[in-house]
Each structure stands twice: as C-alpha cells, then as structure tokens.
Amino acid sequence: MSKRTVLITGCTKGSIGYSLAKEFAAQDYQVFATTRNVASMDDLSTVPNITLLPLDITSRASVLLAHSTITQQTGGKLDILYHNAGYRSLGMAIESSVDEAYKMFNTNLFGILLVNSVFANMVIKAKGKIVFTGSVSGYTPHPSQAVYISSKAAVELYAKTLRTEMRPFGVRVVFVLTAAVNTGMSSERVKLAENSNYRYLEGKINKAWEELEGDAMSPDIYARQVVAKVVKTNPPEDIWCGSGATTVWIIETLGIRWAYNIFFSRMFGLNEMSPSFKKEVKGS
C-alpha cells in the first residue's frame, strides 16, 4: 500500500472520529475507520480512501482481528494510530457507581493500553505517530463528571510518558486537548436518583452544561484544524482545539487554577448550602 495509513478508533456517525476519518481521507490517507458497530458509520463506505472495520478496543480478540486485517493490507506498517474512542457518563462524585467508573476507564484508558500493545510495532516500523483525542476536562473540575475527568487526566499522563518512551524509535506522540465539540457525547445530561443529595440541583446542573456546550465547535471544523497539524512532518506535541480551549490554556499557563472552583461552584449552584442541610443546621 503506497498511501500513508491511519487507524482511527471511535468513528460513529456524528462523532469526532467520523469527521477525522473524512478529513484524513481528503488528505489522501488510507483510513481504517473503526467502531464496535460498523453500521453506525456505514455511510463512510462511500468515501474514497476509507475502509470500515469493526473494533471493540476493550476486547483483545477484536483488536487482534483488526491488527491481522490491517497488517495484510499495509505490509505491517501504520503511519498514524489515532486513539479517539471514548465513553462518558455524568454523575456526582460520591454517587458514581464502580461499574460505571470501570466502563469509563476501560474505554478511555485500558482500551488504549490494549490497542498500543498490539499495534505499537506497526507504528515503530513506520516511524509514525500515535495521536490521542484528549480533553481539557483532565484539567477542569466540572461538577457531575468526576470519574470521566479522572480517566482523561490519567490518559494525558500516560500519553506524556509514552512520548518519552517512544522517542528512541522515531515515533511522535501527539495529545489533542479537546474542548467543547458538538457531538452526541456533548448532548448528554445528568439524571440524578430521587434520593440523591444533589437532587435539588439537577435542573441547575443541566442548565450549566447547556451553557458550557451551547456554542460547541462543529466536529468537521475541529477535524480540519487538528488534522492540518497532525499531518505535519514535525507536529506539535500538544494541540488545543474546540470551543473554550483557549480559556483553559490561559488559566493553565498563568497558573490560576483557583478560578475553576469559583466559576464552577457558582455556575452549577454549589456555592450555596443545600436546602436539607440548612434545615439540619437550624434544627441543631
């Protein structure tokens, strides 16, 4: 295969991966677009330079099958391995279930470890790139997504360590700090149990998410901006992209992280004492 090649995980229609696949194809890459259910991205089959493959990154058998297929078509080389698949659910920190936390870490971190263990030698052979769809959420303590934030922070530190470890092989590691992008994930809202300590704030929390993600960037624009940098011979190690990315970059650069707690506490209604606790205080 003479074209440069890229494997992208998580290419469901309407997602960042879906737009990335189209943009890489437009850049004349041979794209292996993957997701657990191929039917969820089947219209990509009509796009030149795109091959659809089923891939569940949490299943070793699925990853090995994809590796075998791609190896046969590329001669054992892969120019770009693009980790994009992700899973997010909302919930308050003390009310998040272990099962749901495992699902997030299994997709957002453990799946990446599995895919890398199988595909890394193909990237090394090509002296290629490993790219991560990261998230500014790894920095921003948004209430109601503590577990998701934790998984994204873990991925960033893993990627930065991987960057150092892959340097001897000529492999570049690029981490994309993604802010608000208009996908199905960004439209998710919190649903609290009737006995939740925060039940009185459910409407306030969801309104806050609507405000934060109301002006989210189009995934097509996001993909165009990111791919233009990733395909460079010497791409930046970190790419900030998406609505609100610049604000987070400024806060991190200036080291004024205390601003997050003040802003989010007010926005999500957590700056005031809960009604039930007020009653307990008065009763005492």
C-alpha 39/C-alpha 107 separation (Å) is: 20
- Identify the active-site residue in 18, 29, 148, 222: 148
Is 152 annotated as catalytic? yes
- CB atoms inside a 10 Å sphere around CB 210: 11
Q: List residues bridging with 34 in a β-sheet.
A: 53
C-alpha 22/C-alpha 33 separation (Å) is: 9
Nearest to 85 by CA among 139, 132, 145: 132
C-alpha 126/C-alpha 283 separation (Å) is: 69
243: DSSP letter: B
For the record, the structure tokens of 178 come out as 């993604």
- Identify the active-site residue in 29, 152, 198, 222: 152
Spatial neighbors of 151 by CB under 8 A, at least 6 apart, are 104, 105, 108, 109
At residue 92, φ and ψ (nearest 5 deg) are -70, 150
H runs (alpha helix) in the chain: 16-26, 60-74, 98-105, 111-126, 146-166, 202-213, 219-230, 245-254, 258-267, 275-283
- Pairing, β 80-83 against β 129-133: parallel
CA 149-266-212 angle, 5° bins: 55
Note whether 78 and 131 are within 8 A (CB): no
Is 87 annotated as catalytic? no
**Catalytic residue ranges:** 148, 152
